[in-house]
Structure 1
Amino acid sequence: MNRSRFTLLLGGLLLTSLTYAQNDRDEQPYQTKNFTGSLNTVRVETSGGSILVEGSQSSGVKVDMYVRPNNWPDNKMSKEEIEERLKDYDITINTEGNTVVATAKRRGRDNWDWKKSVSISFRVYTPRNFATDLKTSGGSIRISKLNGQQNFTTSGGSLHLTDVEGAIKGRTSGGSIHLAGCRKDIDLSTSGGSIHAEDSEGNLALRTSGGSVHLNNLRGKINATTSGGSVKADGINGELITGTSGGSVKLAGISGSVEARTSGGGMDVEITKLGDYVKLTAGPGSVRVRMPLDKGIDLDLSGRRVAVPLKNFSGNTEEDRIRGKLNGGGIPVTIAANSGNVYINQ
């Protein structure tokens, strides 16, 4: 990552953190606990609130628990009201071996009055080298400034990861995914939201069943797919595998291998440096590609109409199909538009 982009990223992260803090500046945690010792993992589970874990301390772990009523922040509760409602919950904040445990579980659903329910959230501040195991049924999960193995799931919130390195695996059934400044092995999926990933590197597996995909300044092996939205990517270095069943694909600044498909739109691709292969497939739309043609290439192009400048070419050319070797052959380039046209450098 170059210095200017890194500066912009840090500025954006700082602005996000300041905004997040500003929104909660008047809120005090209901309970705070501090732990020291040989700790390296935090396990958090709550049924209706958000979870934040931040590697911001040189040593020790601090756990803040927040209790909020329905319609917070408009609806406030006294400490007495909070204590009365918490009688319906089992709260645990302690340590088990080298793990800090923070859990909030409702005791049962018989005669449960949802109007008196509360949202119990946790914010945990740890050293940088820390692993997580996080689960919530109704809130977002935010993780930042951590190194280590991270596992987390939410049924109704978004996932936000900033400056995290390690084996990362996260799932959400109803929220978006935001990824910035992360590294190593990243596996994230959502059933109902968009994906935004930037300034990250490693083995990235990103999936959504119902949103768009936005990728910016990524390095490594990236597999990012959606079943219901568009795909946009800019500044990808390495290998990109992407696709959508319901939108268009627009790729720019691709340096490396690329495989992209769409069943629901056209495709616009800019390749600045060829990798090991190019494979592009579009459904009802056309495919327009800008790419270097000075390398040895094995061309296999098909569409309603195919247009490409050919020099030092041997093979077969027809209006709807071109197959052969460019500059003696080498890198396989396969592009197909099932019901549209294929344009290369046109």
Structure 2
Amino acid sequence: MKKLIFALVVVAAVLSTTLLAFSQDDKQKPYLVKNFSLNNGGNLVTRTSGGSIKVTGTSGNQVKVEMFVRPANWRNRNEAPSKEVLEKYTFDVRQDGNSVYAVAERKEKNWKWDNDDALNVSFEIQVPENIATKLNTSGGSISLANLTGTQEAKTSGGSITLKNIKGNTVANTSGGSINLNQYQGNLDAHTSGGSINLTDARGTLKARTSGGSIQLQKVAGDIDARTSGGSIHADVTQLGKYLNLHTSGGSVHATVPKGQGLDLDLSGNRVKTTLTNFDGESETNRVKGRINGGGIPVKLSTSGGTTELAYRM
């Protein structure tokens, strides 16, 4: 028994040391730090071919850019890049007028990502809250927080996370999920390989995914959500001009405020809802007609599951 306890203590110590090493590695010192000043918001353009981008809004007009550089290959992840490898990249961190550019690019156009000389270049940037961003990475995640303005985030290999954003946003990823919390404005979110989760969002909300589910919690406004490979769950606190939810490979469930005039178009293998003051046609797999005299179009459909419409008391 004592030997077992000793062994467990040793394992715990090794794990703690390993986790500490990873933690220290994640908090590595930046390769480059630059500070700028903008007037009345301004613009941020960031591109990197192999790392993540994190942008956080703060009070004031200062911009702080931190660039982190390390080998992309896990075998030499903790080693400092050589001068020869660094010379194969272009690092451009500068201010031009009221715009800040933070760009890391490979000089060669045709190169393989799994080369030993590939680098992971990430940016952590503090900006004024009122700023427009254009962010692009081909190999990492993108995170935005506490911003007001027009945002554009595109990644080919990671997730996109937005928190406390006011303005119009385009979020596009080919290989990850999209997660949004506390949002107000027009949103166009698309992913080819992950789920979409929106919480506490208001505005014109458009969500598309080809390979995951869509979760909409406490959303309000004009809502259009579609997926080819998952279910959709929508908790709508206030309807806008329309509610459109469609999936080809799962179920659809929506909860909307009670007592409003609605034009219903519900379809699926089975349709479940309560019809009060209804004028139209109702079948097992289709409901089409008006509630309370009609009004806001509500279209819920699935090709491979159940469609359910519920009402908040």
Measured after TM superposition, the shift of residue 123 of structure 1 is: 1.2
**TM-score when scaled to structure 2?**
0.80
Contact 2:213 2:229 in 1 (8 A): yes
For the residues of structure 2 that align with 1:324 and 1:101, how far apart are their CA atoms?
53
The RMSD of aligned alpha carbons is: 3.2
Measured after TM superposition, the shift of residue 69 of structure 1 is: 1.6
List per-residue Cα deviations over 1:96-136 (Å, max 9, x = no partner): 12110010110115676711211111111001100001111
After superposition, residues 31-42 of structure 1 pair within 5 angstroms as 31-38=32-39, 40-42=42-44
List per-residue Cα deviations over 1:133-155 (Å, max 9, x = no partner): 11111111111100001112111
Change (3 A) 1:23 1:235: farther
Task: Please state whether the residue corresponding to 2:116 is helix, strand or coil.
Answer: helix
Measured after TM superposition, the shift of residue 184 of structure 1 is: 0.9
More relative contact order, 1 or 2 (CA 8 Å, 6+ apart): 2
Which residue identity is paired with 2:53? I
Q: 1:29: which partner in 2?
A: 30
Q: Percent identity?
A: 37
Contact 1:302 1:342 in 2 (8 A): no
For the residues of structure 1 that align with 2:309 and 2:48, how far apart are their CA atoms?
53
Measured after TM superposition, the shift of residue 342 of structure 1 is: 9.7
Q: 1:331: which partner in 2?
A: 294
List per-residue Cα deviations over 1:286-325 (Å, max 9, x = no partner): 111135x1x4x32211237x9xxxxxxxxxxxxxxx9999
After superposition, residues 144-223 of structure 1 pair within 5 angstroms as 144-223=145-224
Which residue identity is paired with 2:99? T
Change (3 A) 1:331 1:77: same
Contact 2:230 2:248 in 1 (8 A): yes
**TM-score when scaled to structure 1?**
0.73
Measured after TM superposition, the shift of residue 73 of structure 1 is: 9.8
Measured after TM superposition, the shift of residue 56 of structure 1 is: 2.0
Measured after TM superposition, the shift of residue 37 of structure 1 is: 3.7
Q: Which runs of 5+ in 2 are unaligned?
A: 1-22
For the residues of structure 2 that align with 1:93 and 1:301, how far apart are their CA atoms?
61
For the residues of structure 1 that align with 2:307 and 2:107, how far apart are their CA atoms?
61
Which of 241, 244, 260 lines up with 1:241 in the alignment? 244
Q: 1:58: which partner in 2?
A: 60
1:135 has 2:125 as partner: no
Task: Please state whether the residue corresponding to 1:241 is helix, strand or coil.
Answer: strand
Q: 2:13: which partner in 1?
A: none
Change (3 A) 1:298 1:77: same
Contact 1:301 1:335 in 2 (8 A): no
For the residues of structure 2 that align with 1:35 and 1:336, how far apart are their CA atoms?
50
Contact 1:189 1:208 in 2 (8 A): yes
For the residues of structure 2 that align with 1:344 and 1:170, how far apart are their CA atoms?
28
Measured after TM superposition, the shift of residue 169 of structure 1 is: 1.0
